[in-house]
Structure 1
Amino acid sequence: MNAVEIEEAVSALAEQPFDAEEFPYLFLLAFGNKDTTIKRLRAAKGSTNASDIPGAVLQRNNIHIATCQPGEVTRTLTALRDSPATSKAKAKFILATDGETFEAEELDTGETVACAYTDFPNHFGAFLPLAGITTVKQIRESSFDIRATSKLNRLYVELLKDNLDWGTADRRHDMNHFMARLIFCFFAEDTDIFQDGHSFTNTVDTMTERDSSNTHEVIGELFRAMNTPTAERKKAGIARYADRFPYVNGGLFSGSPEVPRFSKIARSYLIHIGTLDWTKINPDIFGSMIQAVADDEERGALGMHYTSVPNILKVLNPLFLDDLRARLDEAGDNARMLLNLRKRMARIRVFDPACGSGNFLVIAYKEMRAIEAEINRLRGETDRPSEIPLTNFRGIELRDFPAEIARLALIIAEFQCDVLYRGQKLALAEFLPLNAENWITCGNALRLDWLSICPPTGTGVKYSADDLFHSPLDQPHIDFENEGGETYICGNPPYLGSTWQDEAQKGELESIFGHRTKSWKSLDYVAGWFMKAADYGTKTNAGAAFVSTNSICQGQQVPILWPLIFRTGHEISFAHTSFKWANLASNKAGVTVAIIGLSNHASKARRLYRPSDDGTSIVKEVENINAYLVPGSDIIISPLSKPQDGRGLMEWGNKPTDGGNFFFTSDERRELLNKYPSAEKYIKRFLGAQEFIRGESRYCLWINDKDRISAEEIPEIGKRIEAVSKMRAESKALETRPAANFPHRFRQIQSVAQKSSLVVARVSSENRYYLPIGLEGHDTIIGDRNFALYDAQLWNMALIASRLHIVWIGTVCVRMRTDYSYSNTLGWNTFPVPKLTDKMKADLTRCAEDILLAREAHFPATIAELYDPEEMPADLREAHDRNDEVLERIYIGRRFRNDTERLEKLFDLYTKMTARPGSKNKKKAGAA
């Protein structure tokens, strides 16, 4: 269950008559517990429900719940807190209720909830960990935003049932615009924007029939009034009940006042939504969730898409906010310096070319308003109107509903800031009518000219639009400039990898990269935003920073993308190395990202952030950050066909392309050999990725050309060979069909060991501290899901099994999601190794032997089990640690302090390795 589904279940529970006996079980069901779990708790047998309080329900590692007699809630909660069973079961929460009062506590933090029973759904976010949703505090505390999203979604779906045409492409904009109007009305009535106590919700409730027959007419009349200036209302014939509402303007209520028809259920939903406390709306959270209401594809994941404020600030702070705060500190109480800073801020533009519902813009606006408010306080001008215009917070968004929500979110943020810093009276006096200027463009960011959205000073590139909430698709429409200001580009563009891009998206990337490089098809979609930001920066005083998949700083994408960016004169001004962020989905769902800042006037000190164990960031000032987000020169790692220093040659494993016909389970092999003992010479042990990592057993046919005829005389083998021939001949893959001429053997045979093979999996979990490498005998056939060094000396294993090597692989090779995707040409052949003496090789050989012996001591434990970071045996860990110490002393005479230092040394060695005479890889840094 996601957060919105949980909110719906919790709200439904609160609306039911209170049943003291059933409440604990219904509460747990609302947070996603399965029926089978509830049945076990009901049975109250053994340790399943080990509560020591009569009638209470205790779920281990989760919650201890008790219902009680009226007036006994606080005493009962104390009993739950003091209960030995609560401690023994490691309960995270305690909860007590009598159906009138509700009290709960999170035991680790001491945070409490105390409210009327009917209000407990307002606090459901505090209990999200019960559903496995462990996410940032800001989301857990945004219960209102999730509740509002949930209820608006129900209203949206209900309206579409009776207004099918409003769900079509032709009318989707009308439906979305209607929802934006409703959100504004709910907010306005609770914040006194609709003054004199005029309530939109109460008016609808009072003036509409209970059968909902005229609900659409009443709402339409209210909207018409909000679009009609007061002086024109008599002539327009505005109804008396609507005439009390203010003129809003700004395009929000312009255009058709038509409203979809309401069923009785839809009317009930609308009135219930209006009873929520909309003063609690958080525009930087709410917008992200509400945009999914209007998107059929996203609605299934409603409430799961959210970029947390701390993560947004990881972009905005080093991009420009830290500098503003530093200038504020530097100014102290110097009135002139404070004034200059305020004037500078009034000209700063923040531009998000993938703005969605405006998260980054809203946070940037609120943070700048906070700095401005402090300036005004220090200057004794607390009542002064803000000089930071909303029109300086510009965005591009492909879909029209998120674009409308972005504008609305910024309007709400402006009002909230005015209330906070200037007071309710001044905020209300200046809020209406809304300004009709439009600063969010609805269009395709990769097709639009960004200079038309944020034109540089003096260009005269200007466009116009009708009003704030009506803009044609793909039409730039900024009709105002900001002379002499800085522009900061930021955001979280879409990530689509090259495999997942549709034809239109490929075309967009081609338009940006096609004239620059032939390899553009391998780029992630997000690369388009980086390139356009760099191009924009060549014409303006701008800096940029985006959240991105870390893949654009790894593997094959680096030599394609980054030389092009560096040629524009841009450098990486700051970066956050790979980290995960969670969203509102359960089970810590999230994505691994990096944050990369670009500038063509970067300071000498570049800031490199890396995540720490406690979830914060560690920052280091460095002279330069290269495309791999490593301190060092702007060198590009290019594949090498073979290692240059006498190391073993790493080759792909053997590729069968057989439709499964070559392979046998242990039972199938045994059955075949019992029937045909002579078949044993044609069957060998096969090692694919699962067999190597998880210890699974599988066998394959391995037949030499000279043995084909005799092998085919065994009926079972002959039948399998015939099946391979048919499969290959009928394959849609052109390169597979010729292999039908030799159906008795693998389609691609790389090599077979004479003595032994060192095996490396092509894909390995990022959770392992070391890269798995194995030693196999000559009778094992290595599959193409692995790489192999055939008959290589054992000291090669010590290199691959080191911390140094996995750090290198994780940086220069491509990743599959977050796992390591090994490459022989890019990872092994380029791995910098100092010249090794015979003594060094002998020492490394002993280290490799010790690792193998430590593994053998735990037979039959698999690689997956042995290298589980939580379960790794102490002797194996010690063997690897000795290996690291021996190898790292070869590199620098001591152990490295951390992975950052490891990478700095490796890149330095790589630079020297590729520059020495005879190197085939002496490309200039930054070359394509």
Structure 2
Amino acid sequence: MNAVEIEQAVSLLAEQPFDAEEFPFAFLRAFGNKETTIKRLRKGDTNKSDQNGVLQTNNIHIAVAPAGQVKATLDALRGSPATQRHKARFILATDGETLEAEDLGSDEAPIVCPYAEFPNHFGFFLPLAGISTVRQIRENAFDIRATSRLNRLYLELLKDNPDWGTAERRPEMNHFMARLIFCFFAEDTDIFNGTGLFTATVEQMSARDSSNTHEVIGEIFRAMNTAIPNRATARLPRWADVFPFVNGGLFSGSLAVPRFSKIARSYLLHIGNLDWTRINPDIFGSMIQAVADDEERGRLGMHYTSVPNILKVLNPLFLDDLRARLEEAGTNARMLLNLRKRLSKIRVFDPACGSGNFLVIAYKEMRGIEAEINRRRSEGDRRTDIPLTNFRGIEIRDFPAEIARLALIIAEYQCDVLYRGQKEALQDFLPLDAENWILCGNALRLDWLSICPPSGARATPRGTDLLDLPSDAPDVAFENEGGETYICGNPPYVGSTWQDEQQKSDLGYVFSGITKNWKSLDYVSGWFMKAAEYGSITKISAAFVATNSICQGQQVSFLWPLILELGQEIIFAYKNFKWSNLASNKAGVTVVVVGISSYSTHIKKIYCVSESGSIVEKNACNINPYLVDAPNVIIKKEMQPKNDVSAMDFGNKADDGGHLTIVPNQLNAMGLTEYYRKKFIKRFFGSKEFINGEIRYCIWISDDDLSEAESNYCIKMQVDKVRNARLASKDAYARSLASRPHQFKTPRLAKKSVIVTPRVSSEERPYLPVGLMDSNGVVGDRNFALYDAPLWNMALIASRLHWVWVGTVCVRLRTDFSYSNTLGWNTFPVPPLTENQKAALTRCAEDILLAREAHFPATIADLYDPDTMPENLRAAHDRNDEVLERIYIGRRFRNDTERLEKLFEMYSKKVAPQGSRKGKTGGRS
């Protein structure tokens, strides 16, 4: 269960009549415990309580208290031997009127609240559901609760008004929800004259059977769409006439309202009774958009984008510089004034803005800097000089675009209240500005200069094939000639394999005519290319969150030469980290943040995020597309090694329908004699077998031995199955292999030994899992292999140097390494080796193998667990690293950063002619 689902379940529990006997089980069920778990607790099989309650080991001890005895019961739970013995993290006591709870595993203050209000504290208990982002959720608990209730209302309205769920009317439904959100916020923040005015009016003026609820809401909306001078002729009911004129586009157009059932009316009143002063527009919009999206609703609550993550983009892009200038200005009035003027002219443009998270955060942070300037100049109540229209966005879906604009409006009001005061904020808030500065459209099809022009007038679209702008395109001229423009955002993550027809077409629109390799690019590449083209015409800096794959593997050679040739350079980067959400188990995608510019004078910076979340910052002379402080060389596939190392090939690919490889049970069932087993059966090593020690075999038959092998019925049956599988294949080459069904597609066998490297392995291991096999083993195609290669090659693969190279230039699957012979091995820079150096490396490889042998039958997975790696094996690898690194630079490298910088230096010298410029990319792909 995710956070929103848990909040819904907890709220439903609190709304039901209190059942003392059932409460502990209902509480655990609300946090995702399965019915089988509940059944065992109910029977007493797993209930360890000694207080007539329910104790779930390593989790929680719950007891229902006699009336008025909640505190005493909680004290008893705290002192219970069972609580200590079974390591309960939480204790909870309630009598149905009051609830108290304590987290024994932290210094958090205990909860003491009325029973009906305990859902307000649902975030306190989220560790029970395995959700680790508890602090972030607790800080945004209101947004989650509000989203949960709005979702229930939305679904109830669609149930009663199915026509509002059609493609034709869904935008109208979404617009209605945006109006409701505004009303809930406005009635709790004095924007409406009277706290709770909207909810109270609906409750008082609509019938309890909800028959006229839609009419009452419709009249309220009509009032907010009617200017004060027109009220006399509008014939508004007196109870609606008290609402102010709002409009600003929010209440224009159709004022139709869906019909309400009694349940829907009840939901609406419950939502209105929440404290909407606590709304956080930073993240609220991204959660609300899930309410209106059928596909996303199934993952409701997983849209949380933390402010710290957003600031990883915005801070190095421009906010850090603004804060530095503020620090530099001190109390100098003129410098402060100049900085304030600069702030007023900054444009922030998010061409994948969703519900506006980045724009809202940028706006709030800039308002904070402006407020400090005003404070230092003794102008604390001054109206802001930062216009909302300087925060522009493109969003392909209409509802998020509408929510983004609403989130900015709410953020502006909240900032005015915070920095100027409630009275001044209200004075300037209504009516809303009718200008539209968030555009609904396809960002990869639109001319960004026309939406966020660098000067006051609209830019003329470049090229004759650009689509016309939509009718709702912003026509808001900037009043800040000469200001800075910063492009930022979190565009969609869609790899080339998973793009739909429309997305492929979008990328073709951006890249066709520039490169022939665009079909292999991630979808986010389109945003980088559009930003680079924008920056080639006018000065901008841009930064996007992106999947780490655009800075690894072949995509680097397809994308980055095009960007660099437009005069852009990488000005900062965050290396791989998890872009987390509200799901349990730290779910999230592995991303990078990359900032580009054609004019930045700032010191370039590379940031790394540790597992604990701390950030390590490093200045760089140049950041290349692999996010390394090194020249802008592009690593391209090499079909043969560029150094004096052995050729690396694939293992054996079967294309056999799974019939040449067999597991132990299958082999035993074949009943082969010792002779047949020894002659025609070999151990088979895929990556799982090699790393985890799993057992699998394969049938291995040479052409000369085919007749003898097929004289055995069981072997012949397997060969026949292979023939049939290949004949049934849609692939012509696979069908041609049916003529030799007794063999793998690519039969390769070493004469003496083979060095094996799995194609995919975890980055958690400090070294790549390389090993040595004799000629009796068959290497599967999930591995790479060096057949009959000198053993010193293994020392190279087993080194930390090779680990950092592969981790940088090869593609990753999430954060796992995806090894490549053409990108990782054939390009690996190795200095010329003397015979003595090769002999020393051979001894190092032998020592590594001997250290492993000492721990037989431990597997590679066991041996290379970073927490339990044997000391003698660690020492053998350390010795290997020392010998190799002294060959490279005469001493040990200080860290992985220094290793990478040396490797890129060596590679660039090999591929670039002497005297070539630092930024040389080798031309377009």
Deviation at 1:602, TM superposition (A): 2.3
Deviation at 1:181, TM superposition (A): 0.6
List per-residue Cα deviations over 1:780-836 (Å, max 9, x = no partner): 111111100001111111111122211111100011222111000110111112222
- Answering whether residue 449 of structure 2 is matched by residue 455 of structure 1, we say no
Deviation at 1:738, TM superposition (A): 1.8
Structure 2 residue aligned with 1:466:
none
> What one-letter code is carried by the residue in structure 2 that aligns with 1:409?
A
Structure 1 residue aligned with 2:224:
226
Distance 2:197 2:896 in 1: 60
Deviation at 1:112, TM superposition (A): 3.5
Between stretches 816-825 and 129-138, larger displacement belongs to: 129-138
Distance 1:611 1:200 in 2: 46
Distance 1:609 1:801 in 2: 27
Distance 1:109 1:535 in 2: 52
User: Structure 1 residues 40, 888: closer, same or farther in 2, change over 3 A?
Assistant: farther
List per-residue Cα deviations over 1:807-866 (Å, max 9, x = no partner): 111100011222111000110111112222223222222222222122222222222222
List per-residue Cα deviations over 1:118-166 (Å, max 9, x = no partner): 1111111222221111126333321111111111111111111111111
Structure 2 residue aligned with 1:468:
none
The secondary structure found in structure 1 opposite 2:781 is coil
- Do the aligned partners of 1:419 and 1:427 also contact (CA within 8 Å) in 2? yes
Indicate which of 569, 572, 575 corresponds to 1:571: 569
Distance 2:201 2:460 in 1: 42
Distance 1:154 1:898 in 2: 53
Deviation at 1:43, TM superposition (A): 4.7
- Do the aligned partners of 1:354 and 1:492 also contact (CA within 8 Å) in 2? yes
Indicate which of 634, 637, 641 corresponds to 1:636: 634
Correspondence 1:585-734 to 2 at 5 A: 585-603=583-601, 605-674=603-672, 677-678=675-676, 680-734=678-732
Count residues in correspondence.
914
Correspondence 1:173-322 to 2 at 5 A: 173-197=171-195, 199-322=197-320
Correspondence 1:391-790 to 2 at 5 A: 391-457=389-455, 459-461=457-459, 476-481=473-478, 482-603=480-601, 605-674=603-672, 677-678=675-676, 680-749=678-747, 751-790=748-787
Deviation at 1:623, TM superposition (A): 0.8
User: Structure 1 residues 809, 326: closer, same or farther in 2, change over 3 A?
Assistant: same
> What one-letter code is carried by the residue in structure 1 that aligns with 2:896?
D
Taking only the aligned residue pairs, the percentage that are identical comes to 68
Deviation at 1:668, TM superposition (A): 2.4
Between stretches 447-456 and 876-885, larger displacement belongs to: 876-885
Between stretches 120-129 and 726-735, larger displacement belongs to: 726-735
With structure 1 as the length reference, what TM-score do the two structures score? 0.95
The secondary structure found in structure 2 opposite 1:408 is helix
Indicate which of 330, 333, 336 corresponds to 1:335: 333
User: Structure 1 residues 888, 66: closer, same or farther in 2, change over 3 A?
Assistant: farther
Distance 1:568 1:22 in 2: 67
Between stretches 695-704 and 141-150, larger displacement belongs to: 695-704
User: Structure 1 residues 734, 719: closer, same or farther in 2, change over 3 A?
Assistant: same
Deviation at 1:313, TM superposition (A): 0.5
Distance 1:84 1:478 in 2: 70
List per-residue Cα deviations over 1:649-707 (Å, max 9, x = no partner): 11011111011121222232234343695464222221112211221222222222222
Structure 2 residue aligned with 1:95:
92
Distance 1:252 1:644 in 2: 63
The secondary structure found in structure 2 opposite 1:69 is coil
User: Structure 1 residues 103, 647: closer, same or farther in 2, change over 3 A?
Assistant: same
List per-residue Cα deviations over 1:301-354 (Å, max 9, x = no partner): 001112100000011001000111111111111111111111110110110000
User: Structure 1 residues 210, 328: closer, same or farther in 2, change over 3 A?
Assistant: same
Distance 2:920 2:325 in 1: 42
Distance 1:791 1:195 in 2: 85
Between stretches 804-813 and 198-207, larger displacement belongs to: 198-207
Structure 1 residue aligned with 2:33:
33
Deviation at 1:590, TM superposition (A): 0.8
List per-residue Cα deviations over 1:457-507 (Å, max 9, x = no partner): 2654389xxxxxxx9958532332242111100010001000001111111
Gaps of 5+ in 2: 462-467
Structure 2 residue aligned with 1:902:
899
The secondary structure found in structure 2 opposite 1:478 is coil
User: Structure 1 residues 505, 776: closer, same or farther in 2, change over 3 A?
Assistant: same
> What one-letter code is carried by the residue in structure 1 that aligns with 2:413?
F
User: Structure 1 residues 567, 111: closer, same or farther in 2, change over 3 A?
Assistant: farther
Distance 2:460 2:438 in 1: 14
User: Structure 1 residues 710, 301: closer, same or farther in 2, change over 3 A?
Assistant: same
Deviation at 1:28, TM superposition (A): 1.7
Indicate which of 874, 877, 881 corresponds to 2:878: 881
List per-residue Cα deviations over 1:50-108 (Å, max 9, x = no partner): 455x2343333333333323444344444544556545544433333332222333342
Structure 2 residue aligned with 1:134:
132
Structure 1 residue aligned with 2:102:
105
Structure 2 residue aligned with 1:467:
none
- Answering whether residue 16 of structure 2 is matched by residue 2 of structure 1, we say no
Structure 1 residue aligned with 2:851:
854
The secondary structure found in structure 2 opposite 1:351 is strand
Deviation at 1:776, TM superposition (A): 0.9
Distance 1:458 1:257 in 2: 34
Structure 1 residue aligned with 2:464:
none
- Do the aligned partners of 1:679 and 1:714 also contact (CA within 8 Å) in 2? no
Between stretches 15-24 and 774-783, larger displacement belongs to: 15-24
- Do the aligned partners of 1:456 and 1:539 also contact (CA within 8 Å) in 2? no
Distance 1:403 1:363 in 2: 16
Distance 1:82 1:76 in 2: 10
User: Structure 1 residues 594, 24: closer, same or farther in 2, change over 3 A?
Assistant: same
Distance 1:422 1:474 in 2: 36
- Do the aligned partners of 1:634 and 1:926 also contact (CA within 8 Å) in 2? no
- Root-mean-square deviation (CA), in Å? 2.2
User: Structure 1 residues 495, 196: closer, same or farther in 2, change over 3 A?
Assistant: closer
- Do the aligned partners of 1:348 and 1:392 also contact (CA within 8 Å) in 2? yes
Distance 2:568 2:471 in 1: 28
Deviation at 1:870, TM superposition (A): 2.8
Between stretches 559-568 and 835-844, larger displacement belongs to: 835-844
- Do the aligned partners of 1:673 and 1:679 also contact (CA within 8 Å) in 2? no
List per-residue Cα deviations over 1:24-56 (Å, max 9, x = no partner): 3322221112233334444556xx54455x234
With structure 2 as the length reference, what TM-score do the two structures score? 0.95
Deviation at 1:911, TM superposition (A): 1.9
Distance 1:340 1:387 in 2: 12
> What one-letter code is carried by the residue in structure 2 that aligns with 1:178?
F
User: Structure 1 residues 476, 174: closer, same or farther in 2, change over 3 A?
Assistant: same
The secondary structure found in structure 2 opposite 1:556 is helix
Structure 1 residue aligned with 2:366:
368
